[in-house]
A and B are shown apart, each in its own frame.
Chain A
Amino acid sequence: MNVIFLILILFLVGAIVTAFAGKWSSLLQDGLFILAVTIPAVLFFTQVEMNQLVGWTRGGIHLELGLTPFSYFFAILVLLLGVASAIYSVGFMHGKARKSYYYFNYLLTIMAMLGILFSRDFISFFVFWEIMTWASYLMVVMNGTRTQEIGIKYFVFSAIGAYAMLMAIVLIHAQTGNFLIQDFIDTYPSLAHGRQILIPILLLVGFSVKAAVMPLHVWAPGSYAYSPMSFTSVFSGALSKMGIYGMVIVFVTLLSHLPEGGLIRDIIAWMGAMTAVIATLWAIAQDDARKLLAYSSVGQLGYIVIAVAIGTPMAMLAGLFMAFMHGLFKGALFMVVGAVEKQTGTTDFTKVTGLIRKMPWTFLTALISIIALAGIPPLGGFIGKWMLYESLILSDHYLLVIVAFFSSTAAFLYAYKFLFGFFLGQEEEEWADVKEAPITMLIPMLALAVGSILLGAFPQLILKPINNGLISLGFSDSYGKLWETSTLFNEWGDKVVLQPIIYAIMGVFLTTLAFTYFRNRKRTRYVSTKDISTSGEIPLAHENLTFKENFFQPFLRAVEPVMKKQIDWYYREFGAGLEAIFNFTRRIYSGNGQTYALYAVIFLIVLLLLNGNLFGQ
């Protein structure tokens, strides 16, 4: 059997076996679950050969699977996060309800994502895409909170996306006679102009839903926030990147043949920019860590969309690099939230406070990941941001730079809020007994954080697969030799050399730390957060000095005009309007037999009156 099939089938069998193994032993189930992720991952990295196609026919449709260098890059992300989050899940789900359900859907989601990356024809692509959708839908509703609202919203938007894609797929089939992706790419330049525009737009709608591009992003905050955190790290980290994966393919292989392609790209880039701004502002306003990160994910995806939509060689690299980085740090951050939730039972900033001394390793992960998220050198986040700004400036998208920079600066606000909210501030009695998260949760978190540091020093580790992937897509115009050294540079000859920066930062940091810490270590003693000078008064033990409510109120007041109404509101109104109309169609069926008889008679009479025109000659 081909190893690609084997991987997919291992996931499927693993999902079913794991789901039932819980009946016998919880430990066995955990073990099986880890194996069900790691074995296919190992197989993937050791056995799968590039560019090897496997074809078969199902229902009269020719299907092909295979791995391209471009999907290889995304598969790295999926499997990395998949394995890390799986290990984390074992700790996270320990003692929680619906564990089998969780494992089953988790494995199916990972399988579906790999399947998407393997697909070389639209039908497999769509099938895996939909499996991914419903498996993740089942995760979103898993906690049982607000399922009718959040879950349905997620599904409806996914369905809008998926059906747009399905429409494109059947139109493609009508044009080429088969469903192979490569065949379509080859025939695309010769299509009629109307189809040439319609098909990419439909595909882009489909992908932008998963990539949470405004105005199709409204599902994302709720869905990210209400899934189990261990899954959200995959959901936001890897699953949303499937949208980016598809978008890049559309941009590179289709829109580059289209005269209007540039316009469409600019529109998408601006939609990404708006997403980044609005989502960042909303993230600042959140008091729940899960929602904060959820909005932040949407915002970060906005940058990625800007980058890939601009589509210059450096922007492409920037976008895909940021996509990978986002997977690492946002994956880790959601795990941090999960750890806090597990240990304290809440994710509300206004409740939890001062955990830094209780959960130091969790804090360390959060700190590193937040630095990476904020784009501060020398971590990986900076490299993505740098390439993004440079490519925007060099490709004459000046206003986009400003917008992107604005939201990236505003991101500092929620970044700080996240760290301060959980870990800093007053240490309260209530949380005095909180313990550090179990080791199975710490290791994956820290591993992802280390990844962020590593990529800050050696971006070539991931830039090289990205470049290979882009070349395989037909994006031959690769950017210099950016991925060979730890040097970033642009076409104007400006550069950033990473090593001296890292040395300088580390040197100054350690020197100062030595100055303030090592000399004082013996002489100073730790005092609690109650032992502070609040205008000369010493606070009593029961006095709560935590500052959490309305944290960024002054800033939010300043940006109030843009935050009056969420886009959500318009959708809700629209939905309510539709339901009212549907309520009317329901009333057509009055329940009165006489009415029905009347309908029949009227219908007959109408048809008879029409008769000459009815059936043609």
Chain B
Amino acid sequence: MEILQYIFGGIITFLLAFVVGMTFGGTRRKIIARIQNRYGPPIYQNFIDAFKLFSKTSAVHHGAMHYMGPAFLMVSSVVSLMFIPILRDGGWFPNLNFHGDLIFLLYMMVFGSLGMALGAGQTGNPNSAIGVTRGLAQMVGYEIPWIMALVAMMIQFHTTSITGLMDVQLQSGTWNLFASPFAFVAAILASLGMFRYAPFNIVGAPAELASGPASENGGKYLFTMMSSHSVFAFVKLTLFADLFLGGAGNLVELLIKTFLLYMIPVLYGVVNPRYRTEQAVRWFWGWPTVFGIIAIAYAVWST
């Protein structure tokens, strides 16, 4: 029965993440359009796109890895989702977060890009491969401040689990945003790369690479990828909310917090042009890493 409960809860969580992620994505498109002085698509445009893709029939494939690429991507998003507490007390969203900790999550979250990269590789499209190499390079860039932020929190609060970090905030009454501010800054700067919005949209790079790894995918493949991207965006936002903003007691709180967090990469992006890959990588090893080191020093000092 427990398993059924988890499966059921998982489906509900997935739907929530899907809806929230899609809506946020639509909002972003709208915001960017307004800033660029366009009218922009409606906020629900992403749902329309998704439905269109879902209802299309695929005619071709490029082999086994081509099938599995989107599946890997989905595994990464959904499994990460299952290991992140959505609300503080679980409620409608029971999940497995007691069975895995941050380090597990860290690896789970990078799993998708690698899987997708393999799927893209089999299509033989050179743009895909170029996009992949850029994406992997950027990942090495932002993972450094990101792990530094996490390690700083781990040593400050003596736990490596997300629930543990949420409990710490509940008990002390302060958000980690204030308890370990440098870690927050480092993590947020790293998140700019994680979201891959401008100026870090070097993987898709519409004008150069024709959307990179996604370029040979259409129909259901693209739908799978799109929905897992949306879910993944929600995963990242929830994780940030859990780690730094004390988690959420109810859905409204969750939506507000995640939306605010989402605005950071979105708004940073609209005013910046795209970096070159090596610039992006070096950017992450600059100030974000410095903040990460300060965060660790601060954590060591404060314990």
Which residues does A use to contact B, with CB under 8 Å? 354, 356-357, 360, 367, 374-377, 382, 385-386, 389-390, 393, 396, 398-399, 401-402, 405-406, 409-410, 412-413, 415-416, 419-420, 424-427, 490, 492-497, 500-501, 504-505, 507-509, 512-513, 515-517, 519-520, 523-535, 545-547, 551-552, 554-555, 557-559
Contacts and interface: CB of A to CB of B under 8 A. Distances in A.
A148 B153 CA distance: 52
A401 B65 CA distance: 33
A382 B74 contact: no
Contacts of B215: 533
B104 A527 contact: no
B71 A554 contact: no
Interface in B93-114: 96, 98-101, 103-104, 107-108, 110-111, 114
B278 interface: yes
B61 A533 contact: no
Nearest to A417: B133
B281 interface: yes
Interface in B216-263: 216, 220-221, 224
Given A412-B139, A546-B126, A393 B58 contact: no
A558 B96 contact: no
B158 interface: yes
B121 interface: yes
Contacts of A393: 151, 154-155, 160
A533 B79 CA distance: 32
Interface stretch (B42-50, B142-150, B174-182): B142-150
A233 B92 CA distance: 50
B147 A405 contact: yes
A532 B160 contact: no
B1 interface: no
Given A500-B96, A515-B220, A558 B124 contact: no
Nearest to B154: A393
Contacts of B4: none
Interface residues of B, number: 78
A357 B79 CA distance: 29
A396, A398, A531 pick with most chain B CB within 10 angstroms: A398
* B63, B103, B125, B155 — most chain A CB neighbours (10 Å): B103
A545 B159 CA distance: 49
5 contacts: A382-B104, A398-B151, A420-B121, A517-B67, A523-B59
Contacts of A527: 60-62
Nearest to B219: A520
Contact of B155 (A398, A516, A535): A398
Nearest to B114: A412
A504 B124 CA distance: 31
B132 interface: yes
Contacts of B103: 385-386, 389-390
Contacts of A382: 104, 107
A494 B71 CA distance: 29
B61 A524 contact: yes
Contacts of A420: 117-118, 121, 129, 132
Contact of A494 (B122, B136, B161, B300): B161
Contact of B133 (A406, A526, A552): A552
Nearest to A560: B278
Contact of B127 (A524, A525, A534, A551): A534
B147 to A, nearest CB: 5
A516 B224 contact: yes
A512 B71 contact: yes
A426 B124 contact: yes
B141 A558 contact: yes
B121 A425 contact: yes
A595 B139 CA distance: 69
B296 interface: yes
A555 B160 contact: no
B65 A424 contact: yes
Nearest to A497: B99
Given A377-B107, A382-B107, A547-B126, A526 B63 contact: yes
B34 interface: no
Contacts of A385: 103, 107
A500 B65 CA distance: 25
B99 A501 contact: yes
Contacts of B96: 500-501, 504
A165 B140 CA distance: 39
B276 interface: yes
A148 to B, nearest CB: 36
Given A412-B140, A558-B141, 7 more contacts: A386-B103, A405-B147, A406-B147, A412-B136, A494-B160, A504-B82, A558-B277
A235 B150 CA distance: 37
B300 A496 contact: no
B137 A413 contact: yes
A493 B154 CA distance: 13
Contact of B159 (A376, A492, A516, A546): A492
Pairs A-B, 4 closest by C-beta atoms? A529-B124, A424-B121, A554-B277, A555-B137
A236 B164 CA distance: 40
Interface of B is mostly: helix
B107 A531 contact: no
B277 A547 contact: no
Given A354-B124, A393-B154, A520 B110 contact: no
B12 to A, nearest CB: 15
B140 A520 contact: no
Nearest to B134: A554
Given A356-B122, A413-B136, A533-B216, A376 B58 contact: no
B114 A492 contact: no
Contacts of B160: 390, 393, 490, 492, 494
B118 A424 contact: yes
B136 A416 contact: yes
B140 to A, nearest CB: 5
B65 A535 contact: no
Nearest to B217: A516
Contact of B117 (A416, A524, A531): A416
Given A425-B121, A547-B129, A377 B104 contact: yes
Give the residue among A419, A427, A520 with the most B Cβ atoms within 10 A. A520
B239 to A, nearest CB: 16
Interface in B53-87: 57-65, 67-68, 70-72, 74-75, 78-79, 82
B294 interface: no
A332 B110 CA distance: 23
A555 B68 contact: no
B270 interface: no
Contact of B63 (A356, A409, A507, A509): A356
B235 to A, nearest CB: 13
A545 B278 contact: no
Contacts of A529: 62, 122-125
B175 to A, nearest CB: 21
B143 A419 contact: no
A533 B140 CA distance: 29
A524 B58 contact: yes
B16 interface: no
B297 to A, nearest CB: 9
B281 to A, nearest CB: 4
Given A375-B107, A497-B99, A547-B129, A535 B143 contact: no
Given A398-B151, A516-B67, A516-B220, A406 B277 contact: no
A392 to B, nearest CB: 9
Nearest to B159: A492
Nearest to B143: A409
A260 to B, nearest CB: 24
Contact of B70 (A396, A496, A512, A557): A512
Contacts of A520: 57-58, 61, 220
B210 interface: yes
Contacts of B74: 508-509, 512
B274 interface: no
A398 B281 contact: no
Nearest to B209: A535
